[in-house]
């Protein structure tokens, strides 16, 4: 069933779950087991989960001699992604082994979703993985992507995957418990409970895009991704990775983007993206 309200998440048939780099890399790798346990519990309820996992480049930083921060040049990012993706998937699979669940890797570029044949192939492959009981783990194919064609962040990728796979909900997990009306440390800032399809996001100040040294996301990209899903009839929840069990159980947490009632998550074309700051389409 399509998740029209937050509590519907516990009964949604298909959910795309996205987790950010800072939540599962470096000292935070312990969360992988926690996330896997929550995903397996949801699967036991009969739900289909598609995981969009960031962290390939961040995972490689401790393994390669490329400095302490995220590399700036594209070639080093591509090389780090090739190394990190291998280790990242191994970490997910090692945790899934505790539950005898098999993962399947899906690496996508924006070009893949812009053209009909690779788009259909990706959807067909993930549909088949789900029927086989395999957990699809999606990431951007950073090794071949360029600055001109990259998704820019996996928040947007997860919204596009939710659209592609006709998901009933999207859950965006990171290091924030909810979206706030302004930066959380600012006096008067308060968490946002629900954002409706017609709410003007310009009423909120989501801050800079880059919020840490390993990831490329932030509150603004999550709001943009959630709005993208919302515009196409897919409810989206933004909350902390530490709340994953509660989120998938439909608890009253995080910021809920209520889906547009008349929209259907059709997969014929790449969705139009409304920019958070301008409310225009592009």
DSSP string computed for the chain: ----SGGGGGT-SEEEEEE-HHHHSGGGTTHHHHHHHHHHHHHHTT-EEEEEE--HHHHHHTTSSS-SS---SHHHHHHHHHHHHHHHHHHHHHHHGGGT--EEEEEE-HHHHHSHHHHHHHHHHHHHHHHTT-EEEEEE-TTT--TTT--SSHHHHHHHHHHHTT-SEEEEEES-SS-BSS-TTSTT--B--EE-TT--GGGS----S--SSS----HHHHHHHHHHHHHTT-EEEEEEGGGHHHHHTT-S-SEEEPPPTT-----SSPPP-B-TTT--B-
pLDDT in tens, 47-77: 999 999 988 888 888 888 876 667 778 888 8
Which pLDDT score is estimated for 266? Answer: 54
Is 154 labelled a binding residue? Answer: yes
Checking if the pLDDT of 214 tops 50, the result is no
Going along the chain from its start, the domains and CATH numbers come out as: 6-257 (3.40.1160.10)
pLDDT in tens, 129-170: 999 999 999 998 888 876 655 665 789 999 999 999 999 999
Which pLDDT score is estimated for 281? Answer: 35
pLDDT in tens, 10-22: 999 999 999 999 8
Which pLDDT score is estimated for 208? Answer: 53
Computed over every residue of the chain, the mean pLDDT equals 87
Instruction: Tell me how far apart the alpha carbons of residues 236 and 101 are, in angstroms, rounded to a whole number.
Output: 26
Is 208 labelled a binding residue? Answer: no
| Of residues 252 and 274, more confidently modeled | 252
Is 242 labelled a binding residue? Answer: no
The mean pLDDT of 256-281, rounded to a whole number, is: 60
Which pLDDT score is estimated for 257? Answer: 98
Checking if the pLDDT of 211 tops 90, the result is no
Which pLDDT score is estimated for 41? Answer: 98
Confirm whether pTM is higher than 0.85.
yes
Checking if the pLDDT of 247 tops 70, the result is yes
The mean pLDDT of 176-186, rounded to a whole number, is: 91
Which pLDDT score is estimated for 273? Answer: 46
| Of residues 73 and 278, more confidently modeled | 73
Which pLDDT band, with edges at 50, 70 and 90, does 280 fall under?
very low
| Of residues 75 and 210, more confidently modeled | 75
Is 54 labelled a binding residue? Answer: yes
Which pLDDT band, with edges at 50, 70 and 90, does 207 fall under?
low
């Amino acid at each position: 069933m399509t998740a029209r309200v937050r509590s519907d998440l516990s009964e949604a048939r298909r959910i795309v779950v996205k987790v950010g780099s800072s939540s599962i890399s470096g000292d935070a790798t312990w969360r992988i087991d926690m996330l896997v346990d929550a995903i397996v519990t949801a699967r036991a309820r009969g739900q289909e989960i598609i995981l969009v996992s960031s962290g390939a480049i961040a995972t490689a930083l401790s393994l390669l001699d490329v400095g302490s921060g995220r590399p700036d040049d594209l070639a080093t990012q591509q090389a780090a992604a090739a190394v990190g993706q291998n280790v990242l998937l191994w970490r997910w699979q090692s945790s899934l082994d505790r539950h005898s669940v098999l993962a399947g890797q899906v690496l996508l570029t924006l070009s893949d979703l812009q053209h009909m044949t690779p788009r259909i192939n990706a959807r067909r492959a993930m549909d088949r993985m789900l029927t086989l009981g395999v957990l699809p783990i999606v990431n951007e194919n950073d090794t071949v992507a360029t600055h001109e064609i990259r998704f820019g962040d996996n928040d947007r990728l997860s919204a596009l995957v939710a659209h592609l796979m006709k998901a009933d909900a999207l859950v965006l997990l990171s290091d924030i418990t909810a979206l706030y009306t302004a930066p959380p440390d600012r006096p008067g800032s308060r968490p946002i409970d629900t954002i409706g399809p017609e709410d003007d996001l310009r009423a909120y100040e989501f801050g800079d895009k880059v919020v840490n040294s390993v990831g490329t996301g932030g509150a603004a990209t999550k709001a943009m991704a959630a709005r993208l899903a919302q515009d196409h009839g897919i409810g989206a929840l933004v909350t902390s990775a530490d709340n994953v069990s509660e989120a998938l159980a439909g608890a009253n947490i995080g910021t809920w983007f209520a889906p547009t009632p008349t929209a259907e998550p059709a997969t014929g074309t790449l969705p139009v993206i409304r920019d958070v700051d301008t409310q225009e389409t592009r």
